Amino acid sequence: MKVISVFSLLILNAALMTASHAAQDQSLIHTARKNQLANDAKAEQAAAPKPAQQPAQKLVLPLDHGPHAVVTPWVNEQRRLRAAEQEKAKAAVTNNGAQEQ
């Protein structure tokens, strides 16, 4: 009698353990991941800085007034002119891109 009751308790215990350790629903997990990735993509697009909103960086020129100056006022003026041309080119590209959209 004791053997039968012990055996039945072991079977009942094994049945309860397998039911409590059941696998998760994979379709539900897949749907949740897909929704989370879509939500993350929307958040990244909303948080992405737009090129037109970035502040312009100030041009910093080196100063060299020593006896063997490498950087002269003429070189600094050429750098200023090149930087101004690059800014105009960037503005033209962003304006063209904004007009196309």
Does residue 79 contact residue 59 with C-beta atoms inside 8 Å?
yes
Q: How many domains does the chain have?
A: 1
**pLDDT band at residue 25 using 50, 70 and 90 as cut-offs:** confident
Domain-located, residue 10: no
Cα(6)–Cα(23) distance, integer angstroms: 28
- Judged against a pLDDT cut of 90, whether residue 38 lies above it is answered with yes
Domain-located, residue 49: yes
CA-closest candidate to residue 51, choices 95, 101, 1: 95
Cα(67)–Cα(89) distance, integer angstroms: 37
Domain-located, residue 36: yes
Domain-located, residue 4: no
Cα 91–Cα 81–Cα 98 angle in degrees, nearest 5 = 5
- According to DSSP H, which parts of 1-101 are helical? 2-20, 26-47, 73-100
Q: What is the predicted pLDDT for the residue at 63? A: 72
Domain-located, residue 17: no
> Residue 80 belongs to what domain range?
26-100
Q: What is the predicted pLDDT for the residue at 35? A: 93
Q: What is the pTM of this model?
A: 0.37
